[in-house]
Structure 1
Amino acid sequence: MENNLKTEFEELLKKASDNAINTDFIQVLVERFPRKVTFSTSFSYEDQIVTHLIKNLDVDIFTLDTGRLFEQTYETWTASRAFFKKEIKAYYPDTEEIREFVSQNGPDSFYQSVEQRKACCTIRKVHPLKKALQGYKVWITGLRSEHSTNRQNMPQLEWDEDHQIIKFHPLLHWTTKQVLEYVQAYHLPYNYLHKKGFVSIGCEPCTRAIKEGEDFRAGRWWWEDANKKECGLHIHK
């Protein structure tokens, strides 16, 4: 049967003005696609805000456990379950894929080349993501345009051709000031690495704190060219 989801997306886009596409638009998506909306969290400031926005809505939540996350990320995960009282489903990389990759290339081969690093990201993130999105029609994220030059022209509501899903970024145009004020106002649990200069927090071997004046993404895959710093979860062609 032909998938008409892209047609539904185009209809949504026509009806939604720029003013209508804000955080309240999540409710519109939930009503239009009942039990078919999911949100991916990595427990960043932004993701905690989105979790707070959807805590009383019919939106599922999942996270990708790569097996190489910071201990502080797991602590935030535990605190989030207690605070929001919502189930957070975990997805993991395939054991055989990891075994083969590490056996052939070593545990830290991602430092050797962009290709090796992307291969690691594909196994630990991209493949589990495909499993996590199966059966859903809408994928909500906590992406913000300030975090990457690749996201400056990203639409807030978009069609993800690779995953054949509608994608919504409710906080895309929020400033860092707005994010911090919201987290403080609602006393949301957060990853304490944020207070130590970690802006974008991923796997422990691939993340460092940034220095004053550095770009937001400088702490991710810092040994690579800045224009190549995406892991494959959010692709824009």
Structure 2
Amino acid sequence: MALAVTSSSSTAISGSSFSRSGASSESKALQICSIRLSDRTHLSQRRYSMKPLNVESHSRNESWVSRASTLIAPEVEEKGGEVEDFEQLAKKLEDASPLEIMDKALERFGDEIAIAFSGAEDVALIEYARLTGKPFRVFSLDTGRLNPETYRLFDAVEKQYGIRIEYMFPDAVEVQALVRNKGLFSFYEDGHQECCRVRKVRPLRRALKGLKAWITGQRKDQSPGTRSEIPIVQVDPVFEGLDGGVGSLVKWNPLANVEGSDVWNFLRTMDVPVNALHAQGYVSIGCEPCTRPVLPGQHEREGRWWWEDAKAKECGLHKGNIKEEDGAADSKPAAVQEIFESNNVVALSRGGVENLMKLENRKEAWLVVLYAPWCPFCQAMEASYIELAEKLAGKGVKVAKFRADGEQKEFAKQELQLGSFPTILLFPKSAPRAIKYPSEHRDVDSLMTFVNLLR
């Protein structure tokens, strides 16, 4: 995929950090960047050929980070073989301007980093990248349910900056299954998380597997109850990057310490495209059915998933940065609730799994999920797995679960083909060796097809 990126010769641009004093908003915005607007024409634009975001490494060792691992991972190797401490780097950049942070990120990762662009004030990230004079990449998640104004913004941004945004789309089969089984607006009845997983989180996972770092527009003031502890830079605690495994992806948040009003002053000062919905009272903009204008005095996130409790106003893209109330900042992880609880799902001990492995001629086939209750992807498939167990009850297939984290993880890796959570195994009636479910499609129909063809 040929991507358009912006570049310039070694243009020196000085960026100062946002003032938090009582100075006027306009003066603070002008202080952000000392480049004149007329200088924009002197920034040349070139096109580069880069590998697309959805390139995956098939030789990687899959593994996912625990929900409890929301602290910054201490060490990641640099290109030169030296170890870089991103926790210390975050502290060093705490008072840096967004321009300085952006410049550092692009210098460090080159074409292996990309800006996550969802419209709205994320245009500021692209403007900062342009001002560095370095090449940059931009990707966006097209859920298929965005407002027309958002699509028009995408087009305006591409023309303004001479770039091609890399769009990531949800899997058509998963969307089809969700809509067929639950309808177009099921999120109004049972919450937005399932739809967001299909349309946003999973496409993001595919995008990030082609990168070593990404840049987001998260700010601490966007949601003080959940985002108040966002660091400037961190090892991503949830998603994996190109190399796979823990610590393979670095996350940059150049606007973490910036107030929303200052971002808007910057956008107005730099005269960049913005979403037309902002003029209609929209502040935080997502999918059309889940976004509405906010009233005067309301927080910007009040317009997202307004029918739900305020604590649920996150889609899962930044799960590792979400701060729970009442002591979530403590170093000790909170107790994790057990999952896959159903009369139709058998909880296997290690001894039970070992006995199952020894049987060569079983009376019934067994479907077993290797899981960890803290794993967001295990949680995401819980409803499907329980529904599948209900459908298979009394039909010659036992459905079971085996908790494979902690002390059982090495055993599960060596004996049960565990690569990442969840791993699903089918023990057929006649075959001695378990068959590993190869797909990430964990809906009821896909799992049922796997069982019926192989049991």
For 2:156 and 2:107, how far apart are their aligned partners in 1?
Answer: 29
Shift of 1:5: 9.8
Give the structure-1-normalised TM-score: 0.92
Q: Which runs of 5+ in 2 are unaligned?
A: 1-59, 64-72, 78-82, 241-248, 323-455
Distance 2:314 2:209 in 1: 22
Which of these residues, 48, 70, 76, is aligned with residue 7 of structure 1? Answer: 76
Q: Percent of counterpart pairs with the same letter? A: 35
Q: 1:91 aligns with which of 168, 182, 191?
A: 168
Residue 42 (structure 1) aligns with: 118
Equivalent residue runs for 1:105-184 within 5 Å = 105-114=182-191, 117-148=192-223, 149-164=225-240, 165-184=249-268
User: Do 1:146 and 1:216's aligned partners in 2 also have CA atoms closer than 8 Å?
Assistant: no
* 2:307 corresponds to: 223
1:120 match: secondary structure: helix
Partner of 1:194: 278
User: Aligned to 1:103, what secondary structure does the other structure show?
Assistant: helix
In structure 2, what is the Cα distance between the partners aligned to 1:73 and 1:94?
A: 21
Task: Give the count of matched residue pairs.
Answer: 234
| Gap change, CA 1:52 and 1:21, over 3 Å in 2 | closer
Which residue identity is paired with 1:140?
I
After superposition, the C-alpha distances for 1:86-133 in whole angstroms (9 at most, x for unaligned) are: 12010100000000110000000010012xx21100000001101111
Instruction: Give TM-score, length-normalised by structure 2.
Output: 0.49
> SS of the counterpart of 1:33?
helix
Residue type of the alignment partner of 1:155: P
Q: Please list the CA deviations of residues 12-54 of structure 1 after superposition, one character each: whole Å capped at 9, or x if unmatched.
A: 4324512347431222222222211111101112x10110111
Residue 69 of structure 1 corresponds to which residue in structure 2? 146
Inter-CA distance 124–162: structure 2 relative to 1 (3 Å threshold): same
Structure with the bigger RCO (C-alpha within 8 Å, sep 6+) is 1
d(CA) in 2 for partners of 1:203, 1:27: 31
Encode CA deviations 1:141-193: one digit per residue, 9 max, x unaligned. Answer: 11111111211112121221221311111111212221121111111000011
Distance 1:20 1:83 in 2: 27
Contact 2:290/2:304 (8 A) holds in 1: yes
Which residue does the alignment assign to 2:99?
23
- Residue 6 of structure 1: how far off its partner (Å): 4.7
**Letter paired with 1:181:** N
Select between 8-17 and 129-138 the one with higher mean Cα deviation: 8-17
Change (3 A) 1:206 1:19: same
Aligned equivalents of 2:84, 2:155: Cα separation in 1? 38
Cα deviation code 1:180-229 (max 9, x no counterpart): 21111111000011111111100000000000111211000000000111
SS of the residue corresponding to residue 178 of structure 1 reads helix
Query: Which deviates the most, 158-167 or 186-195?
Result: 158-167
Larger C-alpha radius of gyration, 1 or 2?
A: 2
SS at match of 1:150: coil
Q: Which residue of 1 aligns with 2:136?
A: 59
Q: Which residue of the partner structure matches residue 204 of structure 1?
A: 288
Separation (CA, whole Å) in 2 of partners of 1:5 and 1:40: 24
Q: Please say if residues 23 and 171 of structure 1, whose CA atoms lie closer than 8 Å, have aligned partners that are also in contact.
A: no
